[in-house]
Amino acid sequence: MNNLIAILCASTLLVLASFAQAEEFSTLPNDVQSTLSTFKDKWSTLDNNKQEKLIKGAQRWNSFSPDQQEMAKRRFDRFKKLPKAQREQARDKIQRYQELPENKKQQLKKSYATFKNMGKQQRKALKQQFIKQRRQETKRPRSNHR
């Protein structure tokens, strides 16, 4: 019985702690407030999870060098100009990547680094090989046995 009471108390404290994590905008560090200034007026209406993601994103952004920030801005501008279907496809790929186990992510990063270190002609040949392979896969009838 004492164990049950202890577990109930601990779980209650955890729930209360999660509510307490919702921060007032004014208590955020100044650099985070500056980065998230567009959210100031609606901050209290955002759920804790959204606030936490925004804070982490702002901290990451603030850790970037000016060159990294500029590169990120250019990439985002290019992303915004993509057709809606391509933006959704990109979001889907990011989501699938985030759901991968850590060892698979590391394997992909290593493969990408190897690709980036290849000469321009090697990369071009590999891309062409990949495109050819993809075309052949789409021509084959898919079996229901997977």
Residue 124 lies inside a defined structural domain of this protein: no
DSSP letters for 25-83: GGGS-HHHHHHTGGGGGGGGGS-HHHHHHHHHHHHHHHHS-HHHHHHHHHHHHHHHHS-
How confident is the model at residue 17, as a pLDDT? 46
Q: What is the pTM of this model?
A: 0.56
Closest CA to 127 of 115, 113, 117: 115
User: Residue holding tokens 């560090």?
Assistant: 29
Q: How many domains does the chain divide into?
A: 1
Name, in order, each residue with C-beta under 8 angstroms of 123's C-beta and a sequence gap of 6 or more.
115
Query: What would the two tokens of residue 72 be?
Result: 């990120």
114, part of any domain:
no
10-residue mean pLDDT profile of the chain (146 residues): values are: 54 48 83 95 93 95 96 95 95 94 94 90 89 83 56
Does any domain span residue 96?
Answer: no
In a domain, 59, yes or no: yes
94 occurs within a structural domain:
no
pLDDT on residue 12: 53
- Would 89 be classed as within a structural domain? no
Confirm whether 49 is domain-assigned. Answer: yes
Burial 128-140 (b: 16+ CB within 10 A, else e): eeeeeeeeeeeee
Identify the domain containing residue 39 by its residue range.
1-63
Residue 77 domain-assigned (yes or no):
no
